[in-house]
Structure formats: structure tokens, C-alpha cells
Structure 1
Amino acid sequence: MRIGTITRASALAVAVLLTASGCGISMGTGGGQGGGGEVSGAADGSITFQTWNLKTEYADFFEELIDEFEKENPGSQVRWVDQPAEGYADKLSADAAAESLPDVVNVAPDLVHPLARAGAVLELEEARPGAAEAYLPDAWESFAMPGMDGVYAYPWYLNTGPVFYNRELFEQAGLDPDDPPSTFDELFDQALRMAEETGGETAMLGQTPGIIDLGMYGSQLMNGEGTEFTFNDAPAVEMVQRYREMYEAGALVPEALTQDYTGTGEQFMSGALAWAPGSAYDLENFRTNAPGLYENVGITEVLTNTGKANMYLQGVAVSAATEEPATATAFAEFVTGAAQQEAFAREVQIFPSTAGSLEDPYFTEDDGTDEGRVRVAAAAQLESAASYNPVLFNDQMKNLLRDEIALAVKGDKSPRQALDDAVDRCNELLGEG
């Protein structure tokens, strides 16, 4: 899976293409674990493990990981399948329907939801009682599905923040680059000042708010039962109204309202934008592809009214019909165990989801580098982070929300009406299942 990008979309979401069926899988009959119950026994079977877009850069790491597991579990065999990042959500569903889901699959919370509803993946609190203790509570709960009991994937690697800003653009606008915004109100006030001081030539903001932003602003995105969207409440209306003010003042780039707009990344890297949420992974991208920006980049914490930053999350699910449930669950727990997660976090700028891992000095002690500073700040955020992206909020709903917010920001609808319309239509889609 792609590790990170400088967008507000999940750095950890979406897609693989599976071209080979899983080894020894039978969805309908046979020796699968689909009937429920606790999984136990020796891990001495043959299984298939599927990731996406990891083999090109991390082949040595995963080949060594598999070798270690097979040595610790005599008789076990793990076939690794890594797929390109195209059409994975649909392909996963097709594989499940065709009874060819791999034994162990890399998923995000939104991708595992249809598999869980179809009974295609193990419910882990029944299959592996006590497994939750090994992981951060919020990471574990991110794989609980609305309207269903239990948890349907092991948490794997995490990512979050920080926010990057262009110190040079701050100085040109008369803003203090050593005192960046620490609240939304400060962000909006400084954005307006930047637009005024530069005659609208420099915008602070590069994208309209999405579902995650509304959540961090304080909107209650769904009702308590997880059966209806509710992101048309007062905090959401207020946030959209503030963005309308930013747009009218020139503090939000107009391209943000177009359907084919791809986000803040390119504009921030070109120096046309002053503020951009990103991830720890982005610093290397700046160093390589925008050295002028890299010399002037400032780093600060994600803004949130809830006290919790957003957690981007990957997981590992186990096929409910695997013929080797003991081996499959053992391998999933091995891959997502503390030792392996901490080792992987040293290969790339991501973070482990295992309990206690973020207390390691690697994640708590700044080594004097920009990368170390970002790593320590992001790790501190993850201790209390939460996933704001509802697993039921699909791409069609994201597009609907984006379009309605664009109408509100342009002044074609009131923020209240736009959000009411978005919620109504998203709930209709939710009811259509």
C-alpha cells in the first residue's frame, strides 16, 4: 500500500488488483473457519498473504519477515502476493464472491466493511479472544463495523499529520513563521491577513473541507448507532461558512472548487500555497523534488477542536473460509506484532499500532533532524488519535459532499442547505446498501 501523500485524503486508503486466487480457500464448504468459534492449533499450513504496492520498495523486508515466520513455525508456507494499486475495493468483493479471497489480506477499515457484512473475514474477538490487548485501543476499534458485533481486522501501520507551512510566504505576509496557527480560528484569521497583505496573490488554504476535516472541527459525523450521517450539525455549518469567507477573500485557491482538482500537494510544492496537511513521509519528497521549499518548510501540529488528530490506518484481515485458520491468524498476528511493526517503521515513515511501541525512544526522542522532529510529533499525536473517516462513507458520498460544499463556498447555497442536501443524499445511498 502507498505509504503517504500530501493530501487530506487518507494516506492509507484504497486499492489493489488481485490476479491470482488464494491458496487453499473455499468460501462455501470444506475446512474453513467461517462457522465461527475460537481459532487454535499449530501454524503448520500453507497460506497466501496479499499486500498492495509494497513489493517494489520493501521486498527484502517482507521476504525476511516470511522466512522468519516459517522458521518459527515448521511446516508453514507463506506465498506473498503483492498487487498494483488499481481497483482493489471492487476486486476484493469479487474475490470474496468467487470464493478466492486470500487467506490473509491487507485492508483499510472501509475496505473490510463489505467483506465483514458478507461474512468473508473472521470476527477476531471471537476467533482470537484477548488479541485486542496487543494493540492501541483506538486502532483496534477502528476495525469494528457499524451495526455489527466484533472486530474484523488486526491493526497494522498508522500515520498522521503533521501540517507543513511555507515560512517564506508567512514572512512576506507579515506573519510570524515561528508562531504558526494552533487553532482553527487562528488559521482562518491568518489566512485572511495573508490574502489581504498579498492582494490575493497568495492563498493560505488549498482545499475545501472533507469528512475528516468536519470531524476534527467537532462535527458528530454519524449518530450513535452508526446508522445515519449527521454531519449537518452546527460545527459543520460553521466550518463551511468560514471557508466561504476564505474563498471570498482570496484565502482559498479557486481551483479547490473544481471537480478535477487533485489537492494541495503540487501547489504547496511550487510555492503557490502556504499551508498543507501532510504526513511524515512527505519531507523526503520535499527534499528530493522541491529543495527550495524544503529549506523554508515549517512544521506544526494538526489542528483539531476535539483533542484528537486523525489516524490513517491499515490492517490485516483473515479469510473466514481459509482452510488453515491457525496458520493464517498466527501469521496475521506475527506481521502486526510489535517487533515486526517497529522494524517496518524504521524502513519507512509510518508508525506501529501495537501497545507500548510508541514509547520507544525512536518515537519519543528528537534526534535533531527534521525527520526526527516530525516523527516524534506525529507519534505523540497517535497516542490519542482517532479515525474520523466513517467506514460507510464511500467514494460516491465523498464526491457528493465535495460538490455540495463547493456550492456553499461559491455562494450558490447556504452552508446549512448544502450540508442538509449532502446528508440527505448520503443517507439515501446508505439505505440503498
Structure 2
Amino acid sequence: MKKVRKIIALVLTISLLSSVFVGCSQDKPSDTTKTEGSSTTDNHSQDLVNEKEISKEDFEGEISIALPSGDYIDFMKNEIVPYFQNEYPNVSVTLSDDQNVDTRIAAGDAPDIYAGVFGYQPAKYSKTGNLVNYEEFDDYNEVFDRISENYVMRNFDGVYYVPWNATTQLMIYNKELFREAGLDPENPPQTFDEFLEAAKKIDELPNREDGSDVYGTIFWNDALAWGGWYWTMLSQIYYNMNDGRYQLFNEYGTDIVFDQPDAHMVEFFDFIRSAQELAPPTMENNFFARNVGMWLQFGYGWKANLKEAQGEPMVIGEDVGVAPIPTPKEGDTHWSTLDGRALMIFKSNPEQEKIAWEFVKFLMRDEYNLAACKALGQLPTLKSLVNDPYFQRPEAKPFVDQLQNTLPNEPIAELDEVANIIQQVYVETVIEQKISSEEAVNKAAEKAREVLTK
């Protein structure tokens, strides 16, 4: 058994990662589909309260949109903006990546629309008064009544984001390595103990023809240096340790709860420490190199990576299996995280905010929303799309089914800071093995409470 005794310590930064692996482009949506109702009044300005409904040609101005770089920008540029501007010919749209959003906000140059992430980002920006409350738009219900309530959370007595799409994580495994290790490729591990047993058998397989090692599992340790976002890639394991009863904070965000015994954060660290012994130090040779048995952090949006697998594309159902995250004992509910893209409108002036709202409504039309899910490898938040045949395919349905047992990123403004603290002790206990799991939890809890009381 290859034991990873020590790995070069990863220096954690406070920078926020908002990038996502993406899928491949799909069919172009039609620009002839009947549109939703046009904008009405705006509660920000008394001058507009009695205004008559205006035509789309009457909207004039420029809006800026911040997006994850890569396919998100390409999709918006090619598949959305041209059709939006066909209907709103006097509105220009500028796109930028989201790498410097906080800097722009601090400089008074916030984008009109930001496609951030669920949970802490709407809480963070609404707490500082930067976001428009969607409830202030008269036609708020026309959009939100079409969205599953599972994806909508209130912050500070308002709704400050539209859930554009969703995603969740499951376990994928290499069926060929299962067979080679004498495991049943149609019967993946259901419990954490079974997972470690299977990982050990795979880890003991001989090196490949090119001399590369075979590993039982893998973790994205590289991402420990990318900010608190990475907690969303670990949290599903933690949730299954406590049957989905505990996250990091209490209901009100006034204290942390992960140090309570029933939260089983100690057991979470213990499990990861054991699993890391059967894993490579980084993702330099990832699951798609075909020498890793199981990966507990596969998001639906990353299915495009299967096409980049070594040798030839991997196919879910054939050489790759998909399974729920393991649980402490067989029969327990399998939990995972609920993540996704949150469309936020930053405050500017009533006219500008109305144009931004028109664009958000455009993105939430069925045909354009489905096109985005296909192109960007995401899952639907609109009730009308859940049963679309596209999401009933073998590679998608397990993720859609998992959505009923997911926990959303907590809508706590301090989540990013607290997640970074947990990742710091993760390095010390899992990677460097300098402190015990108990010491890691106590250290993280102390520092987290300092954040909440400052």
C-alpha cells in the first residue's frame, strides 16, 4: 500500500474561485419563440410607479455581465446575446470574466449582473447592501413561480438571486479497475468502510505498462489553495457522516456547529486521512488518466472531461460507473451538495436595474435555460424542464435523482472565511498529518468563532 506520508504544504489563499468544468455546446435555441411579458413598474423610483408598459425598443442603455471564463462567456456571447439584442435592439451587452468582481465592487464598478454561486455569495453581497431585491419587481412572481422552491433561499428578508441552473456531486468509479481488483463493477461501495476496502484492493494493483501507479481514490488537493469554494467539493462527504443533519453553521449563522460530536467532523477527517493513504498527492494524474479507482467529487458539469480521457473517451454506464456518496452504514440516506449559478443584479439606478431584470428573465425562458444547461453541463431549476428527455439520459438521471437529497451552500456571509479555516486544518491533519483529527476540529472551531464575533 502506497502511503502518502507527507506532501508539500499547500498555501491557502483567501481568493474566491468561481470556475466550473463545463460540458460541450449543443443546439442553438430558436429566436422565434414567443417571449414572456415585458417589464412593468419599478419600486425603486416613484417616478416610474405610474408609468405605462413600455416596448422592448424603449429599453436603451448598456449592461455589463460578469461570468466564469471559458465556455460560460462563449455561450453567452454566441447563444444568448445576439437573440437578446434582436428583441432589445437599443441595449448593448458587455461580457467579462469574474476574476476581479470584488475589486470592481470596491472601486464602484460592479457589473450589472453577476453569475456567481448559490449560498454565501448572495448573502455576502446582500449583507453589504449591494444587491437588488428581486421582490421589488412587479413581475417577480411570473419568474419565481416557475422555479422549484428548493433552489430559492431568502437573505435579510429578501430574494437576491435567481437560480439559473444547479449541479451536485456523486461518486464515479473505473469499472475496468474494479474488475481487475476482483470487485463487482455493478456493485459499488455503499458505506465508507466498503469504500476503503475497495480502494485498498485497487491501490494494490500492479503499475501500468508505462510505469504509472494505480490508486484507489483521489482528492483535488490542488484546489485547497483556491479559496473557500473548495469546501463545496468536500462537504458532501461530511454531510454523509452525520446523515445530513449538520452543516457548518447553526440556523441563524450566529455560531458554528461542526464541532458538535453528532456532526462527526472528527470522523470526516479520519476517513479522509485513511483514504488519502490510497490516493496520489495531487490531481496531476487525475481520474481520467484511467489509473484511479474511485472519485468522490464528480460534478455533473464535468462530464466533458470524460471525452478527454486517456486513450479514448470514457462512457458512463460502460467503463465508468456513477454511484451515490457512501454513508456510515448501509441503508442510510445518501446526501450530496446543491450548488449552481446564481444571477445577482447589483444596484445602480432604476432604469439600469430594469434592463438587467429583462436580461435575467430572458435567461430563464425555457428554451434558453435548457440550452444553457446543455451547453454548460448543468441541471435545471425550472419546474418545466425537470422531466425533459435530456435529463432522463443515463449520464444525467443519477444526478437529477440525487437533487432530492441535497443540502445547499449555506447562505452565510462568513462561509468563505470559515471554509478557508477548515481547509487550513485539513492540510495540517490530512496532508501533513501534523495534528490529530480532534485537534483539527478544535482549532478550526476556535478560529471560526473569532470570525463570527469580530
Tell me which interval the TM-score lies in, with the shorter structure as reference length.
Answer: 0.7 to 0.9
Q: 2:239 maps to what in 1? A: 215
- Structure 2 portions without partners, runs of 5+: 1-17, 24-41, 208-212, 222-232, 328-332
Q: 1:268 maps to what in 2? A: 287
413 and 380 in structure 1: CA distance in 2 versus 1, 3 angstrom threshold: same
**Paired AA for residue 318 in structure 1:** I
Query: How far off its partner does 1:197 sit?
Result: 6.3
Q: 2:270 maps to what in 1? A: 241
Q: 1:357 maps to what in 2? A: 385
1:392 maps onto 2:395 in alignment: no
Q: 2:26 maps to what in 1? A: none
Q: 1:73 maps to what in 2? A: none
Q: 1:81 maps to what in 2? A: 94
Q: 1:114 maps to what in 2? A: 124
397 and 38 in structure 1: CA distance in 2 versus 1, 3 angstrom threshold: farther
Match of 1:4 among 17, 21, 43: 21
Q: 1:416 maps to what in 2? A: 438
Query: How far off its partner does 1:304 sit?
Result: 6.0
1:182 maps onto 2:190 in alignment: yes
Q: Identify the structure with bigger relative contact order (alpha carbons < 8 Å, sequence gap 6+).
A: 2
> Contact (CA 8 Å) 1:105, 1:317: kept in 2 or not?
yes
Distance 1:398 1:125 in 2: 30
Query: How far off its partner does 1:167 sit?
Result: 1.8
Match of 2:103 among 91, 106, 118: 91
> Contact (CA 8 Å) 2:202, 2:293: kept in 1 or not?
no
1:61 maps onto 2:79 in alignment: yes
> Contact (CA 8 Å) 1:177, 1:298: kept in 2 or not?
no
Distance 1:39 1:114 in 2: 33
Which runs of structure 2 are paired with 1:120-269 in the superposition (5 Å)? 120-128=130-138, 129-130=140-141, 131-141=143-153, 144-145=154-155, 148-195=156-203, 202-207=214-219, 210-218=234-242, 219-234=246-261, 235-247=264-276, 250-253=277-280, 255=281, 261=282, 264=283, 266-269=285-288
> Contact (CA 8 Å) 2:324, 2:334: kept in 1 or not?
no
Distance 1:223 1:4 in 2: 31
1:312 maps onto 2:339 in alignment: yes
126 and 345 in structure 1: CA distance in 2 versus 1, 3 angstrom threshold: same
Task: Please give the root-mean-square deviation of Cα atoms over the aligned residues, in Å.
Answer: 3.4
Residue identity (%):
18
Distance 2:388 2:313 in 1: 31
> Contact (CA 8 Å) 1:341, 1:351: kept in 2 or not?
no
38 and 197 in structure 1: CA distance in 2 versus 1, 3 angstrom threshold: farther
150 and 183 in structure 1: CA distance in 2 versus 1, 3 angstrom threshold: farther
84 and 236 in structure 1: CA distance in 2 versus 1, 3 angstrom threshold: same
316 and 427 in structure 1: CA distance in 2 versus 1, 3 angstrom threshold: same
384 and 68 in structure 1: CA distance in 2 versus 1, 3 angstrom threshold: farther
SS in 2 for 1:283: helix
- Structure 1 portions without partners, runs of 5+: 7-30, 71-75, 256-260, 367-372
1:337 maps onto 2:365 in alignment: yes
Distance 1:398 1:77 in 2: 43
> Contact (CA 8 Å) 1:195, 1:204: kept in 2 or not?
yes
**Paired AA for residue 400 in structure 2:** A
Normalization by structure 1: what TM-score?
Answer: 0.75
Distance 2:196 2:87 in 1: 51
431 and 77 in structure 1: CA distance in 2 versus 1, 3 angstrom threshold: farther
319 and 57 in structure 1: CA distance in 2 versus 1, 3 angstrom threshold: closer
Q: 2:229 maps to what in 1? A: none
275 and 293 in structure 1: CA distance in 2 versus 1, 3 angstrom threshold: farther
**Paired AA for residue 316 in structure 1:** L
Distance 1:406 1:359 in 2: 42
49 and 377 in structure 1: CA distance in 2 versus 1, 3 angstrom threshold: farther
SS in 2 for 1:205: strand
SS in 2 for 1:182: coil
Query: How far off its partner does 1:314 sit?
Result: 0.6
SS in 2 for 1:210: helix
Q: 1:101 maps to what in 2? A: 110
> Contact (CA 8 Å) 2:288, 2:305: kept in 1 or not?
no
* CA offset digits 1:323-376 (Å, max 9, x no partner): 314333233222123332112223342222112311112212x3xxxxxx2122
Distance 2:284 2:412 in 1: 25
> Contact (CA 8 Å) 2:288, 2:310: kept in 1 or not?
yes
Query: How far off its partner does 1:69 sit?
Result: 4.1
> Contact (CA 8 Å) 1:47, 1:103: kept in 2 or not?
no
Query: How far off its partner does 1:154 sit?
Result: 0.8
> Contact (CA 8 Å) 1:349, 1:375: kept in 2 or not?
no
Normalization by structure 2: what TM-score?
Answer: 0.72
Distance 1:349 1:331 in 2: 21
**Paired AA for residue 426 in structure 1:** A
